[in-house]
Amino acid sequence: MESGWGSGAARADGALGSKRAKEGSKTRSRRRWRKSKTKASRLTHSMDLHTMTQSLVTLAEDNMAFFSSQGPGETARRLSGVFAGVREQALGLEPALCRLLSVAHLFDLDAETPANGYRSLVHTARCCLAHLLHKSRYVASNRRSIFFRTSHNLAELEAYLAALTQLRALAYYAQHLLATNQPGGLFFDGDEGLIAEFLREYVTLHKGCFYGRCLGFQFTPAIRPFLQTISIGLVSFGEHYKRNETGLGVAASSLFTSGRFAIDPELRGTEFERIIQNLDVHFWKAFWNITEIEVLSSLANMTSATVRVSRLLSLPPEAFEMPLTADPKLTVTISPPLAHSGPGPVLVRLISYDLREGQDSESLSSLVKSEGPRSLELRPRPQQAPRSQSLVVHIHGGGFVAQTSKSHEPYLKSWAQELGVPILSIDYSLAPEAPFPRALEECFYAYCWAVKHCALLGSTGERICLAGDSAGGNLCFTVSLRAAAYGVRVPDGIMAAYPATMLQSTSSPSRLLSLMDPLLPLSVLTKCVSAYAGGETEEHSDSDQKALGMMGLVRRDTALLFRDLRVGASSWLHSFLDLSGHKSHTSSVPTAESMRRSVSEAALAQPEGPLGTDSLKSLTLHDLSLRGSSETSNTPELSMSAETLGPSTPSDVNFLVGPDDAPEAAKAQEELSTKDRGCGVRSSFPEGFHPRRSSQGTTRMPFCSSPIVKNPFMSPLLASDSMLRSLPPVHIVACALDPMLDDSVMFARRLRGLGKPVTLRVVEDLPHGFLSLATLCRETRQAAAQCVERIRLILAQPAPPAAPPV
């Protein structure tokens, strides 16, 4: 008995030891993976470009010679060929990158802020070179080992060679921009025909290699697993839609279960490219709004700060009076939003870490809109905190087509806790159902309402900050411009995170990065802008459906899509978590009503205003902004301020560098060859170089040529100098690897040139939208903290004196 027991114990101990050994092996494998990524990242920053290139060429030649001597086998031949390709592309890429680096400093905001699209493109290419260098060293050291995984290393080398080839093409495109643009200008500066030709040529490039094994190689390693999860979810989501499947949790569960896309990076990259090129804005609206599902948003809020107040309010569409800044005895009427769908309520969310005076008043309670079981996080307390001296008005991002304050609530709760001030986040109506200028009208109306009724929000309103990210940053600028035009109080400062300031269809060095950005592909950007400009319609022709083939099945009613997603995801997750004992309310009719519509319910029920939708689209914002006020106020102050609403003239907009840098920039352009100055975009490539082209056929990309995108209230970068002088101090936090980086740089340079107080902080190695990823890793937390610090700077002290004009 003892012997048998001892034998069984020994077997158990042996099994336990084997299990621990396997777990230890997995842990060591993960550590080696992280270590290899860290080494590649360090190589990017520690070696200069020439040394890195020469080291890579030497290793490539050595590996090429080795595998060439291994006989006629197919694998050896491919390995030899891939290293030959690495050598060729590295040698061809270095001169182009050196040329860009030699002039990149001319496009910086200042010496303390070395950031622009040219620098970002060079950095991205260096990341790819560094990874290939690290992989080449690994191959050289382990190629004789019996544990050398030949097929795995070959596939990775081929993927990064394809990426390097495409990056070389982008470097030549950047040289073309440098030769075509005005000195110091980052955006493509040619006629519309040339811009369209450039963009059509650019979108034919192959992109799938950046969405497979190379996904997110340019970002910090901590972000890459998240990007991989998103890409797998996206392609699986699109796969279900292609088969016309939406109900019973299929679409939602696809985000969590998709084995074949996880184990086959090449398949994932191909499918990802097909989706971003072929699916319309309604698909992206649905996918981005996945986080709006009740179960998912509840899980996100479980990890966020706990606040005393989180209330969704519905502001009635009633006109009210605001005092003029120049003469408080005079007032101007702020009319409710009218564009496209007539008067309608505006939804806002009040978030406060402490319960403050006024926040539980009957007046505010009468505005509360029910959201279901989690709509009210207001808890009774023995006493109220006094009103805060400050207020933050927040405008969320989402490409003007998706998301609400609910999506951004987790980091807004953290802001409320860290800043100790109430936050009012605006839920503006979304395109394409509510195109420009509906969102601007609603945000301006909500901002003015907040200024007038700040006591109800728990603030005295002594200091007011406008804050927003991406599309919300754009709306922060335009709301401030409109407030100045109306003559009412402008905010004390603006904090804009990675804002979009140029919505015109054009290109810039940083926009070239959209070829490889999994969160902001160029085709998706253009579809969002087209929807916001009113170019994305509900009806689609049969020819379009035939051109899309099976992908045309994804076009369906958006409301039905959201309902199926919500019901399906809730059902699937409740089943997964074994919560069947709790009665689900997701299938009830009131739940469907709790989902905020893109166009407000009251607006849909209202008839159109005196001018129809078509006539509204043809009006400039000068006309639109005066409609509500001209009928009730004829004050001279309003007339004078409203004159700035007119479209800016070319002479008012100055994108040129300062006088000190202008000769150097002009000289740099003169040094470009006549070939680089050729009108043909393909002439940018040297003889014998051919980038890889997309195999997905014609891209559905609506290049918006409507004059409305040049409206300064849609593209604030195009505003006149007199309009920009009316802005308060501006603090911008941008991402170095964001396709929108040049929007921030050029906007900051224009403000600096006018002597306006402006700061630009550029965070490294993070993607667009890092605020929504604030809890993901240390780098995103630090970047989010930068945003909080700038808001605190606006709220804590008066604006610093303006810098002298450059």
Superfamily, domain 306-370+384-506+707-795 = Alpha/Beta hydrolase fold, catalytic domain (3.40.50.1820)
Q: Which residue has the higher pLDDT, 284 or 368?
A: 368
Q: In this predicted structure, what is the pLDDT of residue 741?
A: 97
Q: In this predicted structure, what is the pLDDT of residue 263?
A: 82
* Residues ≥6 apart with Cβ < 8 Å to 434: 339, 340, 341, 598, 599, 603
β-strands 423-427, 388-395 pairing: parallel
Q: Are 637 and 327 in contact, with CB atoms under 8 Å apart?
A: yes
pLDDT digits (tens, 9 = 90+) for 615-640: 333 333 334 333 333 333 333 333 33
85 pLDDT band, cuts 50/70/90, is: very high
495: helix, coil or strand?
A: strand
Three-state SS across 26-76? HHHHHHHHHHHHHHHHHHHHHCCHHHHHHHHHHHHHHHHHHHHCCCCCHHH
DSSP 113: B
pLDDT digits (tens, 9 = 90+) for 258-283: 567 778 888 888 888 888 888 888 88
Q: Of 68-82, 243-257, 385-399, 502-516, give the range with the top mean pLDDT.
A: 385-399
Is 342's pLDDT higher than 80? yes
Is 2's pLDDT higher than 50? no
Count helices and strands (H / E) in the chain: 28, 10
Least confident of 205-209, 322-326, 635-639, 682-686: 635-639
Q: In this predicted structure, what is the pLDDT of residue 746?
A: 97
Is 549's pLDDT higher than 60? no
Q: Which residue has the higher pLDDT, 694 or 326?
A: 326
**What does the longest C-alpha to C-alpha distance in the chain come to?**
105
Mean pLDDT over residues 746-775, rounded? 95
608 pLDDT band, cuts 50/70/90, is: very low
Is 84's pLDDT higher than 50? yes
Whether omega for the bond prior to residue 432 falls within 30 degrees of 0, making it cis, is: yes
Q: In this predicted structure, what is the pLDDT of residue 32?
A: 52
Instruction: In whole angstroms, give the CA distance from residue 419 to residue 523.
Output: 38
Q: Which residue has the higher pLDDT, 358 or 199?
A: 358
Length of the chain in terms of residues written: 806
Instruction: Report percent pLDDT > 90 for the chain.
Output: 52
End-to-end CA distance of the chain: 93
**Could you tell me which of 261, 84, 58, 53 has the C-alpha nearest to residue 161?**
84
Domain ranges of the chain: 41-185, 306-370+384-506+707-795
Is 5's pLDDT higher than 80? no
Mean pLDDT of the chain: 78
Strand partners, 351: 310, 423
Is 586's pLDDT higher than 80? no
82 pLDDT band, cuts 50/70/90, is: very high
Q: In this predicted structure, what is the pLDDT of residue 280?
A: 82
Q: In this predicted structure, what is the pLDDT of residue 47?
A: 76
**Could you tell me which of 235, 76, 117 has the C-alpha nearest to residue 735?**
117
In one-letter notation, the amino acid at residue 499 is P
Q: To the nearest 10°, the Cα dihedral for 443, 449, 450, 456?
A: -140
Least confident of 173-187, 453-467, 722-736: 173-187
572 pLDDT band, cuts 50/70/90, is: very low
pLDDT digits (tens, 9 = 90+) for 30-60: 455 445 555 555 555 557 899 999 999 999 9
Mean pLDDT over residues 567-572, rounded? 42
* Residues ≥6 apart with Cβ < 8 Å to 336: 316, 317, 318, 319, 343, 344, 346, 445, 628
Marked catalytic residue, from 41, 136, 405, 470: 470
pLDDT digits (tens, 9 = 90+) for 112-138: 999 999 999 999 999 999 999 999 999
Torsion angles phi and psi, residue 195, rounded to 5: -65, -45
DSSP 716: G
Q: CB 263: neighbour CB atoms within 10 A?
A: 9
Q: In this predicted structure, what is the pLDDT of residue 578?
A: 38
* Residues ≥6 apart with Cβ < 8 Å to 31: none
Q: In this predicted structure, what is the pLDDT of residue 700?
A: 56
Mean pLDDT over residues 487-507, rounded? 95
Is 573's pLDDT higher than 90? no
Q: Supply the pTM of this predicted model.
A: 0.80
Least confident of 229-233, 403-407, 413-417: 229-233
Whether omega for the bond prior to residue 702 falls within 30 degrees of 0, making it cis, is: no
Q: In this predicted structure, what is the pLDDT of residue 750?
A: 97
Q: What are the residue ranges of helices labelled H in 383-497?
A: 405-419, 438-452, 471-486
pLDDT digits (tens, 9 = 90+) for 172-225: 999 988 888 888 889 987 667 777 778 888 888 999 999 999 999 999 999 888
Instruction: In whole angstroms, give the CA distance from residue 57 to residue 130.
Output: 12
Q: To the nearest 10°, the Cα dihedral for 191, 192, 197, 199?
A: 110
Instruction: In whole angstroms, give the CA distance from residue 57 to residue 785.
Output: 41
* Residues ≥6 apart with Cβ < 8 Å to 678: 684
Q: Are 171 and 93 in contact, with CB atoms under 8 Å apart?
A: yes
Q: In this predicted structure, what is the pLDDT of residue 132?
A: 96
Is 801's pLDDT higher than 70? no
Q: Which residue has the higher pLDDT, 289 or 610?
A: 289
pLDDT digits (tens, 9 = 90+) for 524-533: 888 999 999 9
470 catalytic residue (yes or no): yes
244 pLDDT band, cuts 50/70/90, is: low
Q: Are 288 and 398 in contact, with CB atoms under 8 Å apart?
A: yes
Is 654's pLDDT higher than 90? no
Cα–Cα distance list, 521 to 55, 176, 232, 699 (Å): 32, 21, 16, 12
Burial label for 797, CB within 10 Å (0-12, 13-18, 19+), is exposed
pLDDT digits (tens, 9 = 90+) for 407-455: 999 999 999 999 999 999 999 999 999 999 999 999 999 999 999 999 9
Q: Are 771 and 741 in contact, with CB atoms under 8 Å apart?
A: no
